[in-house]
Chain A
């Protein structure tokens, strides 16, 4: 370990005096790949508990979809976009932007669509 790294105390020391069980004891190297429950699983477990629906829980308090009509803005420039390109599925504002849209390679098209979560996901 280089001197300046030690001096800067960059690295977390492995032994802490105030801990009852140290990290290397809890998670021995190379053995326990602890699988933590992902948020989805946690929430599913909660739902299954059959609590009263009146009580607020994590899923309950989520906001519903928007009541306002969807705002359509151009994917590339950000202006208002009344038009939509059927081939690439992008929204565009005027003819100049359309030229740009048609000349984009597929990779960029998919990335623009991914901003809106409208990309084609192949998995």
Chain B
């Protein structure tokens, strides 16, 4: 159905005498050209031009109409989109028009030095004189045409169908086209342009709307929605609902009828090869391997530990032996003996001895209290190593002073350690006491306790989640129209406070001089800011720790408790594809439900796409009103022959809808009959062809001399008479 393209070069150009007119239907969507008197146009193609560059030679070539995309791979089409000579049904780009005409005449088989036939070409209703004159100029000057006639395509279609008895002498022609929709009243077989009405909505807008909707709904398949494909979809699946609201409600309820009306397009999709779930044997195998690895690690650790124990024991023995020897050696020989072994004094040896025994004990894994005792012992034996502390400064030599400082330092650190240990012990006791209290409370009243725990959990959860939301929601906030508000929303309270402090600090100084920092108080500013930030984070951590404790407690005591998922993981971004689960067949299906009738609806309600004009049904009312003669009988005659033509009138259901619409506007009881053209797409050309074949056609054309002599004003007034 879509994109008919007949571009075979015709060979019988020379068969036609120079009096045979060439008929051109110059539409915004398709260009049709043929000989007068025939029923089918010879050449049909889409009215677009592309100018890509050839990849190897680099020259810019012109391609008119649609072509085999396989051949286009030789061309670099990135900078050359398809261009049209039209801007909403008026031709304004005559260079492109020339390319199109070139191509058309070439395919019609034209040869010879000029186009020696009269030409009948279609234009839009009330074509601006500038466009008309440029077109005439193009035809006369460049192609050497002898005479030209302009006509409106919808009128030709109407006349053609009138001949076939589809519509009457008086009637309304409604022509939803590619870029515009016209309503033209006919009185006595002639169009009355005064009563004509035009809305700038057409097939192009419907296709564009559908394309945008689908792209927004399925952003991952956006590459699939090319213009041609979407137009295909539109022509195949779109229809006009008799009543939009009812239809929408039907789909909203989602019943069987709605499903029946929903169409689904399956994109080609290859399922990924799924890994089979590992079988029992494989699982057992993996477990065994892991077990073996664990065993190996444990053995290695054991071996290391035992070797270390051996080492330490050896060292211990050696030291003990040394001490023994030292005891035996005589006083004078102590120094020399010691210098051999490498230890400075007896005390040092003893110190190393105790250290080694400690390490040995640790390596062997003896319980802690002994170690604590050891530590205390070590402490006590080192406490008499601070003999110099209590000695006042002035009695000591510099070396001894240094020694004293070292001892003071050592003492303070050991005391600090002791105090910390004590505090830890106290905290432990405290916690033990609290848990015991808790247990007691629980035992005496389990229900109440449980409820309390639940409420506490909920509160904490809410707090933590809110904080998280505040932190991350700044990034997700949808920008509102006022840009200033957006920035403020992104910062949370603390950050805003900081900003405020900084800006006030900057401004308070007064213009021209910046004395921030001269006074010490200024720097307190940073302290304030720093504090604000820290508080926030610490608070969050505390809350989270508390939450974790409460939830674990609840899990222990309440079998029905299910902890809510972690706040960090529960922020699903609905627009992201969840990468966790593999893509299924459904992901590659495009569902056309409401879009099927939502898109053509814009013909009747252009304000759905923001175009502030009337829809089809209202336009008929306006058109009848605009007629110069206010005759009720005429109005009745007009509505009893409403004729639809143009590509967009092929939507199923448009006739009934239009009839209902007109009935709403017209006085009750007026006869309404809506008919469709025999072939809405080609009838315009056929009508024009029939018109041009008429013997009196040549009276309606104007020639080159006419154009140049009579001037623009005459050209503006020029209208063909459609009843010959």
* A residues with CB within 8 A of B: 1-2, 4-5, 8-13, 16-21, 23, 26-27, 34, 36-39, 42-43, 45-46, 51, 54-58, 60-68, 70-71, 73, 76-80, 87-89, 93, 99-100, 102-106, 108-109, 111-112, 114-118, 120
Contacts and interface: CB of A to CB of B under 8 A. Distances in A.
A27 to B, nearest CB: 6
A12 B143 contact: no
A100 to B, nearest CB: 7
Contacts of A18: 105, 110-115, 143-144
A67 B68 CA distance: 46
A54 B194 contact: yes
Contacts of A100: 574
B329 interface: no
A66 B478 contact: no
Top-9 shortest CB links A-B: A117-B610, A78-B594, A12-B62, A56-B193, A39-B87, A78-B598, A11-B61, A63-B614, A61-B196
B420 interface: no
A112 B212 CA distance: 8
A17 B108 CA distance: 13
Given A16-B102, A61-B125, A78-B248, 19 more contacts: A9-B9, A10-B63, A12-B64, A12-B102, A12-B103, A39-B92, A45-B130, A51-B716, A58-B127, A60-B126, A62-B613, A63-B622, A64-B614, A66-B612, A66-B618, A68-B605, A77-B252, A80-B252, A99-B574
B126 A58 contact: yes
A28 B343 CA distance: 102
A44 to B, nearest CB: 10
B563 interface: no
Contacts of B194: 54-56
B303 interface: no
B678 interface: no
Contact of B480 (A88, A114, A117): A88
A71 B608 contact: yes
B153 to A, nearest CB: 16
Contacts of A10: 63, 67-68, 71-72
Contacts of A117: 609-611
Interface in B622-676: 622
B88 A39 contact: yes
B89 to A, nearest CB: 9
Nearest to A81: B248
Contacts of B93: 36
B102 A111 contact: no
Contact of A46 (B129, B200, B611): B129
B663 to A, nearest CB: 15
B279 interface: no
A7 B321 CA distance: 107
A71 B193 contact: no
Contacts, number: 206
B574 A103 contact: yes
A81 to B, nearest CB: 10
Nearest to B479: A106
B606 A66 contact: yes
A20 to B, nearest CB: 6
B570 interface: no
A42 B90 contact: yes
Given A1-B57, A39-B90, A12 B113 contact: no
B92 A36 contact: yes
Contacts of B144: 18, 20
A93 B103 CA distance: 51
A118 B609 CA distance: 9
Interface in B153-209: 193-194, 196-200, 209
Interface in B99-155: 99, 102-103, 105-106, 110-115, 124-131, 141-144
5 contacts: A8-B67, A26-B98, A46-B128, A58-B90, A100-B574
Interface in B589-626: 594-595, 598, 605-615, 618-619, 622
A1 B607 contact: no
Chain A contact residues, majority secondary structure: loop
A2 to B, nearest CB: 6
Contact of A43 (B128, B476, B574, B610): B128
Interface in B202-249: 209, 212-213, 216, 219, 244-245, 248-249
Contacts of B72: 10
Contacts of A27: 95
B503 interface: no
Interface of B: 9, 54, 57, 61-64, 67-68, 71-72, 74, 87-88, 90, 92-95, 98-99, 102-103, 105-106, 110-115, 124-131, 141-144, 193-194, 196-200, 209, 212-213, 216, 219, 244-245, 248-249, 251-252, 476, 478-481, 573-575, 594-595, 598, 605-615, 618-619, 622, 716
Nearest to A9: B9
Given A2-B74, A18-B115, A63 B102 contact: no
A67 B219 CA distance: 36
Of A27, A58, A99, most buried by chain B (CB within 10 Å of CB) is A58
A64 B212 contact: no
Contacts of A57: 126, 128
A111 B212 contact: yes
B216 A108 contact: yes
Nearest to B599: A78
Contacts of B127: 58
A118 B611 CA distance: 11
Contacts of B613: 62-66
B249 A79 contact: yes
A108 B113 CA distance: 56
Contacts of A19: 102, 142-143
A11 B67 CA distance: 10
Contacts of B71: 4-5, 8, 10
B595 A42 contact: no
Contact of B87 (A38, A56, A116): A38
B478 A104 contact: yes
Contacts of B126: 56-58, 60-61
Nearest to A67: B618
A13 B129 CA distance: 31
Nearest to B130: A42
Nearest to B144: A20
Contacts of A77: 252, 594
A36 B95 contact: yes
A68 B481 contact: no
B321 to A, nearest CB: 78
B328 to A, nearest CB: 87
Nearest to B145: A18
A27 B105 CA distance: 20
A17 B112 contact: yes
Nearest to A11: B61
A56 B626 CA distance: 11
Contacts of A65: 612-614
A77 B88 CA distance: 29
A115 to B, nearest CB: 6
B594 A79 contact: yes
Nearest to A114: B212
Contacts of B61: 11-12
Contacts of A39: 87-88, 90, 92
A51 B106 CA distance: 40
Given A71-B608, A88-B478, A100-B574, A63 B57 contact: no
Nearest to B180: A62
